Amino acid sequence: MKNITPNCINQNSKPSLFCPGCGQSIALRHLGFVIDEMKIQKKVTLGIDIGCSLLSWNYFNFDTVQGHHGRSIPMMVGFKMARDKRIVLAMMGDGGGYAIGLQSLLHAAYRNNPISAILINNTDYSMTGGQAAPTTLAGEITTTTPDGRDVKTLGDPFHGPELVRQIAKSSAYIARASVSNPIMLEKILTRAIENQIKNNSFSFVEILSICPTNWKTNAKKSFDFLEKMEKVYPEGEIIKN
């Protein structure tokens, strides 16, 4: 049986800053298990964004660097060029990856930069109070869509991995996982990191996650909403090696 906490989590850090029930801490815990199992703790550098992913600062017992909003990908692409033996991860939210930083995501995929990008899709801009993101569902109420997202004016919910697939090279690894399915989440994260190590290629993983604070949901309603998201954003591998 697994430990409750991955070994690579920094046991001496301050208590987690994520809100109670946040899906980002579930995603990070499983990333920690993957890093333990792959025995790569001493080789990993994690780049984090502005947004709730920055709360993982000091969360792990490995090197972590932080950039401006939407810039974790170019920061870590540059880092990998300078330190090509490192295993490089870039975390971001859906605002960071699909709005302000979309050009960086697409160019990294197009260039096939050998980093593993991990994006948390919780359908809103969480850290700043729950504004609409490209991924906000049709009809979803956020602080900037008080009557629900109107797809006639704002367009359909944004399918990032499917867009990245259009321009990525055949050696790229692209997938969508969910915090409701930790076994698949760990498998997908493992393959994304392996693709960097073995194929020197780009990987992109979107993780469907819960934000009880901005959704104003209790535990049950959070997972009910995640189920709705999973219907719009299907889990699975999108390009297979």
Residue 114, interface with ligand TPP (CB under 6 A)?
no
Provide the 8-state DSSP code for 184. Answer: H
What are the C-alpha distances in Å from 59 to residues 90, 126, 183, 231, 233?
15, 19, 22, 31, 28
Q: How far apart are CA 96 and CA 92, in angstroms?
A: 6
Binding partner of residue 22 among ligand SF4, ligand TPP, none, CB under 5 to 8 Å per kind?
ligand SF4
Residue 122, interface with ligand TPP (CB under 6 A)?
yes
Q: How far is the CB of 241 from ligand TPP (least distance, A)?
A: 29
Cα Rg of the chain (Å, integer): 17
Contact 142, 132 (CB under 8 A): yes
Tokens 């800053």, residue located? 17
Q: Which residues pair with 118 in a beta bridge?
A: 91, 205
Contact track, ligand TPP, 186-205, x by CB under 6 A:
--------------------
Position among 171, 213, 217, 241 found at the interface with ligand SF4 (CB under 6 A):
213
Residue 18, interface with ligand SF4 (CB under 6 A)?
yes
Residue 97, interface with ligand SF4 (CB under 6 A)?
no
Q: How far apart are CA 189 and CA 125, in angstroms?
A: 23
**Among 5-13, 50-58, 137-145, 226-234, the segment contacting ligand TPP (CB under 6 A):** 50-58
Binding partner of residue 125 among ligand TPP, ligand SF4, none, CB under 5 to 8 Å per kind?
ligand TPP
Q: How far is the CB of 104 from ligand SF4 (least distance, A)?
A: 21
Cβ nearer to ligand TPP, comparing 128 with 217: 128
Residue 210, interface with ligand TPP (CB under 6 A)?
no
Which alpha helices (DSSP H) does the chain contain, by range? Answer: 23-38, 72-82, 94-95, 102-111, 151-154, 160-167, 182-199, 212-215, 219-232
Residue 51, interface with ligand TPP (CB under 6 A)?
yes
Q: How far apart are CA 169 and CA 161, in angstroms?
A: 13
Please give the residue ranges that form the binding site for ligand SF4 (CB under 6 A): 18-19, 22, 24, 52, 55, 122, 126-127, 211-214
The binding site for ligand TPP (CB under 6 A) comprises 50-53, 68-69, 93-96, 120, 122, 125-128, 133
